[in-house]
Amino acid sequence: MSNQEMFNTEGYLHQVSKVKLASKNDTKYFNAVLQEQDGFKDIVVFSPQKHRDFINAEKHKSPVLLKNLLTSPSRRDATKNDLKYNSRSNLSIAKKLKFNFDSGYRLTRQSSTTLNTIRDITDNFAAFQTVNTVAKVISCGNGGPKQLSSGLIMQMQEFAIADSTSSMLIAIWGEQIDSIKLNSTYKFNDVSVREFQGTIQLTSTPDTTITETTPLTDVSTDNTPGMQMNTIRGTIISAECTAKYYCHCKKQLVDYAPEMSTIKCPYCSQRTKTSHLLPSIKAYINITSDSGKMHKLTASEVILQKLCPQHDLKRTDETEEILLDAEEQEFQVSGYNIISISPVNAHNDLPLVPAENYQNETEEILLDAEDQEFQVSGYNIISISPVDAHNDLPLVPAENYQSSPRYFNGLKHPLDAMHPCSSLEVMG
């Protein structure tokens, strides 16, 4: 029970967010901004059942009276406090106030948002404060599914970002990972400052917005911890593959065994077919490089899928065997984590065919084709089917064609995917 004294205030509501889920304890909440007579304050509402009332008050620009509020340190400004609305608080429509709804609030708030340099963040901000910064993404680091303290599983990816003053790490969570491109510049709004093993880092939150912006050209890439990228060329000599399984409520099922056909989750009490559980798979591998040095590395599920294509990774014993049979690879490594791989001998033995020869041959085959029915969008052929419905259709016998793939500069020609009618302009 809090010993704070509760208080009342009145004003207008702005920027009521959607209902969110706190990562630490699964608490539902939403944010809003309260316009008071002397300024604006952020408010965190821990009564999700009141969300519709807050939405309606903002929509209709209604004056509101908020009772039994508490305060908490501001996430935006260490010198200020936010408002806290909990189950003991109350929202009601107020009488006419001495000031009006500020329709220009959103524009004013956005234009006055303070941007912090990375040097400013690392030198002057404390953990759990919220900041805004513009920075270039300079490298990609650790990533994969992570179990939060609440038991939820969420995808996380670390990036190194830099501006002209310094560089630092930022952890991006969930769907926002897909919006990040290497070497692009972004404006990161409402990212949270965290301290990990004595190092200041940033992390995205449910409130974070990421917007691509004008590229930064002069950035500092010094002193970025944990993001140095190394290339290791070598062969896997030992491997341990592990698999953890999670219920659809995102909690790990520690009692899972491969022979089970169903399992009951102790958290949500649902019994689930084990074939429909959510797996999280990784491998710990030892690699011997060309110099004879041993490297102990970790491979995420994404890397394992590249090393073991078309294989069920959940069959961990077989996965280990496939890893040991893999040819020499070139590994891009950050810390102990494999970021990407490529075969050392990729394309070395592929026959080269001059492009003009292949183009002439394709044109001849097109001219020999029988009557076709073309599905067209604008000037583009979307699909084709023979008028005589496959009667004697193979324009090129499939077995002949498959046995002689064409390559250009070591790469399989894209026309092989849909020969003979791929990306060519047909005249008449």
| Residues 134 and 115 sit within 8 Å (Cβ to Cβ) | yes
- Phi/psi class of residue 370: alpha, beta or left (left: φ > 0; alpha: ψ in -120 to 50)? beta
Tell me how far apart the alpha carbons of residues 368 and 389 are, in angstroms, rounded to a whole number: 17
Tell me how far apart the alpha carbons of residues 322 and 5 are, in angstroms, rounded to a whole number: 64
Is it the case that residue 419 has pLDDT exceeding 50?
no
Helices (H), strands (E): how many in the chain? 7, 24
- Per-residue model confidence (pLDDT) at position 378: 60
Nearest to 274 by CA among 265, 283, 286, 282: 265
| Residues 19 and 28 sit within 8 Å (Cβ to Cβ) | yes
- Mean per-residue pLDDT over the chain, rounded: 77
Q: Which CATH class is domain 7-109?
A: mainly beta
- Per-residue model confidence (pLDDT) at position 80: 72
Tell me how far apart the alpha carbons of residues 31 and 130 are, in angstroms, rounded to a whole number: 14
- Residues constituting the chain: 428
Q: How far is CA 322 from the centre of its chain?
A: 28
How does residue 195 score in pLDDT terms, banded at 50, 70 and 90?
confident
Is it the case that residue 161 has pLDDT exceeding 50?
yes
CB within 8 A of 171, min separation 6: which ones?
Answer: 156, 157, 158, 194, 201, 202, 203, 204
Phi, psi for residue 330 in degrees, rounded to 5: -110, 120
Least confident of 40-44, 373-377, 388-392: 388-392
Tell me how far apart the alpha carbons of residues 305 and 370 are, in angstroms, rounded to a whole number: 42
Tell me how far apart the alpha carbons of residues 24 and 90 are, in angstroms, rounded to a whole number: 26
54, burial (CB in 10 Å: exposed 0-12, middle 13-18, buried 19+): buried
More confident site: 355 or 270: 270
- Per-residue model confidence (pLDDT) at position 306: 84
Is it the case that residue 389 has pLDDT exceeding 60?
no
Stated as kind and residue range, the H or E segment containing 54 is helix 51-59
Is 118-212 a CATH 2.40.50.140 domain?
yes
More confident site: 204 or 302: 204
CATH 2.40.50.140 domain span(s) along the chain: 7-109, 118-212
Helical spans, DSSP H, in 275-414: 301-307, 316-325, 355-367, 398-403
